[in-house]
Amino acid sequence: MTATAQARLVGLDAARCLALLGMVATHVLDARVAGGDLSTAQWLAGGRASALFAVLAGVSLALMTREPLTGRPRALRLAGLAGRATLVALLGLLLGALDSGLAVILTYYGVLFVLGLPFTLLGVRALVPLTVGWVALAPVLSHLVRPHLPERGFANPHVEQLADPVQLASELLLTGYYPVVPWLAYLLAGLALGRADLRDTSLLGGLALGGLGTAVLATQVSRTLADPVAASEHATGMYGTTPPDGDWDWLLLVAPHTATPFDLAQTIGSAVLVISCCLLLAQILPRPATAVLAVVCGAGTVTLTLYSLHVVMRTAPVWPPEDPSSYAAHVVVLLSLGAGFRLVRRRGPLEAFVGWPVRLAVRAARGSDAAAAQRSGTNR
C-alpha cells in the first residue's frame, strides 16, 4: 500500500473515531448547562456525530465498490455487501432490546446500506445533483406520508418487532429516530465524496471550505426563516423527525434529528468539513506522526465493536446510565481498546463477524474467475 493510500485510510479512521466519540458525548453529557444554554458538546456533536457516521458509511461503500465489475462478480459483490448490512441490522435489533436508554443506530444503518447499493453504479457527476435533490425533496415526501403511517411504538427497533413488519418498516424508513428515507442523503453525499480523488490536497481544501460554507449558510437561512421560539425550544433536537401532523413551517428548522432540508444540509456540510480536514491532516503530517495518529484514532478501525460495547456499557447493570462524569471513562476505554486493536493489527470481533458475507462473496468470485479462465484455456 502506498503512503498516500495509507494516509487516506488513517484520515478516514480519524473521522470515524471523532464520530464515535461525538455520539458517546451526546449520549452521556448534558445537552444544556445550568443557565439553560446549549452545552459545548451538544453544540458541536448534537445531530452532527451521527450524520458524520452515516456520511462515512457512504465513503466506505464507495471505496468498497471502486473497482468496476460486471456480470456475476458484480452480483456477488452486491450480495456480499447486502449480507454484511443485514448482519449489522440484526445486531442493532439485539442491542435495541437492551435497556440502555439510547437510540441505537445500527438497524437503520444496515437498511441504509442496503438501499444505497443501487447508487454505487453511479459516478460523482450523477451523485452530486442527486444528493442535492434528495436533501430538498425527501423531507417533503416524509412530511406528506408520515401522517398516514402508524405512530412510532418503540424507542428502538428490536427483535420482537419482526412480528410486525409493517410497523418495523414504517419506523425504519420514515418515523424512527434515524429515518432511512431522508437519511439516504447522507449516504449519497458519502458516495459522491468517496468517488472523488481523495489524494488531491487542493480538492480536499476546497471540500473543507465548501462543507463549512454549506453548514453556515443552512444555519443562517434557517434562523432567518424559522420561528425563533421553536428554534430555541428544539435546539437540542427532536426524535428523528418533525411532528407528523405539524405545520409546513417545521421544515424550516435546522435542529438536530429533525431530518429537515436545513438539518440535512447543515450536517452534511459539517461531515464533509470534518472528513476533508482529517484526510488533509493525515496527508500533511510526516509518516511517523501519521503512524501515531493511526494508533491514537485506532478506535476508528473498530467502530462497530466499540459502539456496541458503548451501548452495553450504558445498561444499568454495567455502568451508571445518567452520569456525565463517566464520559472520560468511556473515552479512555474506547480509545485504549482501539489503540490495542490497531497495534496488533487485528479486526474487531464484530467487524470480522459482519464481514463474513463479503469474504464469502470474494471467494466465490475468485472461484468463478478461475473456472472461467480454465474453460478459456481448455477451449483454445
Residue 56 domain flag: yes
Phi, psi (5° rounding) for residue 260? -90, 165
Crossing angle of the two packed helices 124-145 and 180-195, in degrees rounded to 10: 170
Cα dist. 285→206, 208, 247, 327, 373 in Å? 19, 17, 50, 29, 44
Residue 125 domain flag: yes
324 is in which domain, residue-wise? 3-371
Residue 88 domain flag: yes
Q: Which three cell numbers stand for residue 208?
A: 473543507
Collapsing DSSP to helix, strand or coil, 162 comes out as helix
Cβ atoms 303, 16 nearer than 8 A: yes
DSSP per position, 268-335: HHHHHHHHHHHHHHHHHS-HHHHHHHHHHTGGGGSHHHHHHHHHHHTSTTTS-TT-GGGHHHHHHHHH
Tell me the whole-structure pTM to 2 decimals: 0.94
pLDDT for the residue 100: 86
Residue 378 domain flag: no
Q: Which three cell numbers stand for residue 270?
A: 459539517
- CA dist 65 and 358 (Å) reads 12
Residue 249 domain flag: yes
pLDDT for the residue 34: 80
Residue with cell 448482519: 87
Cβ atoms 100, 316 nearer than 8 A: no
Q: Which three cell numbers stand for residue 269?
A: 456540510
End-to-end Cα spacing for the chain:
36
Tens digit of each residue's pLDDT, the chain (380 residues): 676 778 889 999 999 999 999 999 998 888 888 877 888 888 999 999 999 999 999 999 999 998 877 777 888 989 999 999 999 999 999 999 998 888 999 999 999 999 999 999 999 999 999 999 999 999 999 999 999 998 887 778 988 888 899 999 999 999 999 999 999 999 999 999 999 999 899 999 999 999 999 999 999 999 999 988 888 888 888 889 999 887 899 999 999 999 999 999 999 999 999 999 999 999 999 999 999 999 999 999 999 999 999 999 888 777 665 677 788 888 999 999 999 999 999 999 999 999 999 999 888 877 655 555 455 555 55
pLDDT for the residue 232: 85
Note the maximum CA span of the chain: 81
Residue 377 domain flag: no
Cα dist. 298→25, 39, 230, 335 in Å? 18, 27, 40, 7
Residue 28 domain flag: yes
Number of folded domains that form the chain:
1
Which residues 6+ apart lie within 8 Å of 122 measured at CB?
130, 191
Residue 380 domain flag: no
Cα dist. 315→95, 99, 308 in Å? 10, 6, 11
- CA dist 359 and 364 (Å) reads 9
Q: Which three cell numbers stand for residue 278?
A: 482529517
pLDDT for the residue 377: 54
Cβ atoms 177, 257 nearer than 8 A: yes
3-state secondary structure 90-149: HHHHHHHCCCCCCCCCHHHHHHHHHHHHHHHHCCHHHHHHHHHHHHHHHHHHHHHHHHHC
Q: Which three cell numbers stand for residue 283?
A: 496527508
